[in-house]
Structure 1
Amino acid sequence: MRAFLATSIGVACSAALALPASAAPATSVTTSVSIPASASLPAEVAVPGSTQSLPLRTLPADRATGAALQGLTRRDVRPFSLVGVVWDDPDAELHGSVQVRTRASGTGAWSGWQSVETHNDDHAADPGTPERDSGTVRGSTAPLWVGASDGVEVRVRAEAPRAGASPAPLPRGMRIELVDPGDEPASEPASEDTAQGPEIPEGNDTGTTSGQVPVPALTPEESAASAVNAELVPLGATEIPELTKEETETAYADRFGEEAVTAKPYIGPRPRIVTRKGWGADERLRERNFVYTKSVQVAFVHHSATGNNYSCKQAPSVLRSIYRYHVKSSGWRDFGYNFAVDKCGNIYEGRAGGVAKAVLGAHTRGFNTNSMGIAVLGTYSQSTPPSSAVTAVARLTAWKLGLYGKDPRGKSTLTSGGGNRYKKGAKVKLNAISGHRDGFSTECPGARLYGKLGTVRSAAAKYQGR
């Protein structure tokens, strides 16, 4: 079996598989596997889903302010479910507003104007890293989930100029990306009717199934993405089952050592996690290799800013759309976040590399090293996040931070890789569970979700037995 894994994954990942995840010391995965110069984004291949990229055109300037305006008039397009705007230079910021209208497939009804969040590179790889310097990265807005649509209208308006100042230009090469997520995976996670329980339960959530069903033969790319979790579940598993606290401690006994297990290590029960196979990630889209950092000292909580108009049954489609947008439209090497959580509290594996490992993500520019990113699907600037989602974040952080010896109520010092809030090299003390805005000047994860982080820290510590 081990020989098969080495063959499937290749030399670049062999160091990460040298020790089982459950047997490795807390900081054993210390090798960052560099992306070779030849490992550029794969050429367009025949994979489920599609992306339409339509260039925006200059429209008459806003009469009231003189601000620059670009967009598209109403037009028919092939089916899509998610939209976003990208531009050529990732360092060029979009100072303005982006709004879209879409036509629902089947009914022909047009939506009202919907705003797209212009996050201006706050979710991204760190400056100076191979992923950032690949030459494929583009500037991009957050993606917006609009549901099945076949018509679109777009307008991008620059900020109104200050008195006496010239109108601010819009970035060059702007275009609208229309993403079709492709077919649904064979099985779906829990729906609203079978979601996890109240926000901070006294006991552990139970009753989920393992999801270990026969699966078709795996492609080499699927084998590689699945093999990094092979110490937890069989190859091709659609989910990683939850464990009780006692089962979790037993499963990770070698990691903590005999004395630590006897003393009850501070680790939360492992939650149920839907794998990339489970949500239908096409592994041919991402770059082949996996990249690791040394540890997980901080968990950054985000909202995806994709809107709240999705059902939990649609969450896999939302994830496949974001994944395609991150890779094909924004030019990233893979899905940006390490994990995602939907409004029903289902937890999903994000960037490939292994759920128990310290996988380097592209979620908090400047602080991706020694951290992980969790995206709660939705927009929580004015909407309160569901209690099931808050509970899921607490359960996930209690387990993952516990693997690396972290108290969810504690703090860690990270070194900034450069961003708009902290200069490169700055030593920054952060909460072990932080919001995106703590590391970068942004509204993410939205005021309503950010306000729940104190509850998340307390609940996660309780799950760990503190």
Structure 2
Amino acid sequence: MSRIMGMRGFLTSSIGAPSIGVTCAAALALPLTLPATAAPARAERTAATGRVAEAEVPGRTQSLPLVPRSRSRVAGAAPEQGLYRAGVRHFSLVGVVWDDPDTELHGRAQVRTRSAASGAWTGWQDIETHNGEHGADPGTAERSSGRVRGATAPLWVGDSDGVDVRVRADAEPAPAAGARGGPTDGPDATLPSGLRLALVDPGDEAPPQGPPADAPRSGTRTDAAVAAYAANTDLVPYGAPDIPELGRWATERELSRLNGGVPRAKPYIGPRPPIVTRRGWGADESLREPGFHYTNTVKAAFVHHTASGNKYTCSQASSVIRSIYRYHVKSMGWRDIGYNFLVDRCGTIYEGRAGGVAKAVMGAHTLGFNTNTMGIAVIGTYGTTKPPAAAVTAVARLTAWKLGLFGANPSGKTYLTSGGGNLYPKGKNVRLNVISGHRDGYATECPGKQLYAKLGTARSSAARYQGR
């Protein structure tokens, strides 16, 4: 259930955002006086990297190299790598990463885990291979940072202390007699190099209510947490864990205020839904890159599923999001979590990438189409499982409000310029639904057949919420 606290009170900053790649300075949005009771930052940053040491932040990521598995060397046999570890430090989410983000994993990744509570091992579970369809667009600073790696989807497994993983390449025919080279040369010729297993511990539950625990004392300022908390002060007080819902007329008044007091002739905008902020789900702001990147507008929304499995409860959703956030940043090398928003099975909406929920924050969700769009991920896997009605309704409510801020019609179509991908070459002008599935911009199974089938319902509902 949503943890919305019914808070009110607004500041009067503008919704305006800088152009692509511009970094927002935290100090510009920082309130002049912060709560005197707030605690100092938890950890000192290292002079060399500017990041908090791994042991000093909540949660952790264990990175373990995979090794070749013993297999009979017959012609055409598929190479396999794996790892078995019992008694590792607790983790709740797993994924497989490799060195080159442009190299695809053609094969199958499976894992079984041991419950930390019962000691019982699960059966083998498939880990969905992403193969590049998520991430920053080619040529952007985030994509070109040198830190980005290839990776599978993350899989939520619950509190575990043992793991057994196997990654097997698709079998390919052996090269002809006398041929040099070929896909089967060497034991791992058809697997990406540098395969590693990521075991993610999400850390503690969301922080208690009250002043932000990692806000600076009066007279001092710290970095990413201050900036993230201040990014939503055009809607709620600094550091609020939740953004409360607004009725139709209050939302229209807010839209006028955000537009500098200039009323829109016919404001097609849905009522603002309740949203859990990054502070509300317990984001460790020291993990991500500093600053925010914005685009010029929001013309469309791409709907995703996280492909992390459906074995979570709504009370665990914040832990799942913290795990995905850590996986995206620490394991995959992204600047922040890729999605702009996430939705759990109970219909609760969560702020994703930092920068302000009402602003045009550039995400890393749909390779080639991150500019002037937003990404919404429904937590779970929806290839054969139908998404809960509450989640579909939440997508409709969120898009009706957020697209309405930028004058977009959820039941209409728009043109987007491709940044490069496997469906459309870079620079191509593509006509897409304003509410599209990930597969509309990139050849992928995402957001799963069952969730994709519900996008028509989301479009019509969102338009109705907008009063169209």
- TM class by shorter chain equals 0.7 to 0.9
Distance 2:72 2:425 in 1: 37
What is residue 236 of structure 1 aligned with on the other side?
239
Q: Is 2:162 aligned against 1:151?
A: yes
Aligned ranges 1:38-117 → 2 under 5 Å: 42=51, 44-45=53-54, 46-61=56-71, 66-117=77-128
TM-score using structure 2 length: 0.85
Aligned ranges 1:191-202 → 2 under 5 Å: none
What is residue 206 of structure 1 aligned with on the other side?
none
1:131 is aligned, of 142, 148, 151, to 142
Do the aligned partners of 2:207 and 2:213 also contact (CA within 8 Å) in 1? no
Aligned ranges 1:416-435 → 2 under 5 Å: 416-435=418-437
Do the aligned partners of 1:358 and 1:370 also contact (CA within 8 Å) in 2? yes
Distance 1:21 1:52 in 2: 42
* Range with bigger deviation, 412-421 or 395-404: 412-421
Do the aligned partners of 1:301 and 1:375 also contact (CA within 8 Å) in 2? yes
Letter in 1 for 2:102: D
Distance 1:39 1:328 in 2: 17
Q: Deviations over 1:62-111 (max 9, x none)?
A: 77850010001343211000000001111111100000000000200000
Do the aligned partners of 1:118 and 1:140 also contact (CA within 8 Å) in 2? yes
* Range with bigger deviation, 419-428 or 444-453: 419-428
Q: CA deviation at 1:253?
A: 1.2
Q: CA deviation at 1:33?
A: 1.2
Aligned ranges 1:27-46 → 2 under 5 Å: 29-30=18-19, 32-33=21-22, 42=51, 44-45=53-54, 46=56
Letter in 1 for 2:95: G
Q: CA deviation at 1:160?
A: 1.4
Do the aligned partners of 2:12 and 2:257 also contact (CA within 8 Å) in 1? no
Do the aligned partners of 2:345 and 2:390 also contact (CA within 8 Å) in 1? yes
Q: CA deviation at 1:421?
A: 1.1
Do the aligned partners of 2:13 and 2:234 also contact (CA within 8 Å) in 1? yes
Distance 1:109 1:217 in 2: 38
Distance 2:152 2:452 in 1: 21
Hey, which bits of structure 1, 4+ residues long, moved more than 4 A?
38-41, 62-65, 162-166, 212-215, 255-261
Q: CA RMSD in A?
A: 2.3
Pair 259,182 (structure 1): closer, same or farther in 2 beyond 3 Å: closer
Identical aligned residues as a percent: 63
Letter in 1 for 2:371: T
Pair 255,78 (structure 1): closer, same or farther in 2 beyond 3 Å: closer
Q: Any idea what SS the aligned residue of 1:236 has?
A: coil
Letter in 2 for 1:328: K
Letter in 2 for 1:428: V
Aligned ranges 1:7-26 → 2 under 5 Å: 20-21=13-14, 24=16
Q: Which runs of 5+ in 2 are unaligned?
A: 1-10, 26-46, 176-181, 217-221
Letter in 1 for 2:148: V
Q: Deviations over 1:215-263 (max 9, x none)?
A: 44614222210101001111110000000111100111144577744x4
Q: Is 2:220 aligned against 1:218?
A: no
TM-score using structure 1 length: 0.86
Distance 2:48 2:271 in 1: 37
Q: Deviations over 1:252-304 (max 9, x none)?
A: 1144577744x441000000000000000000000111000101001000000
Distance 1:140 1:411 in 2: 32
Letter in 1 for 2:51: P
Q: Any idea what SS the aligned residue of 1:282 has?
A: coil
Distance 1:349 1:226 in 2: 12
Q: Any idea what SS the aligned residue of 1:252 has?
A: helix
Aligned ranges 1:200-279 → 2 under 5 Å: 213-216=210-213, 218-219=215-216, 220=222, 221-255=224-258, 260-261=263-264, 263-279=265-281
What is residue 289 of structure 1 aligned with on the other side?
291
Q: Any idea what SS the aligned residue of 2:402 has?
A: helix
Pair 461,257 (structure 1): closer, same or farther in 2 beyond 3 Å: farther
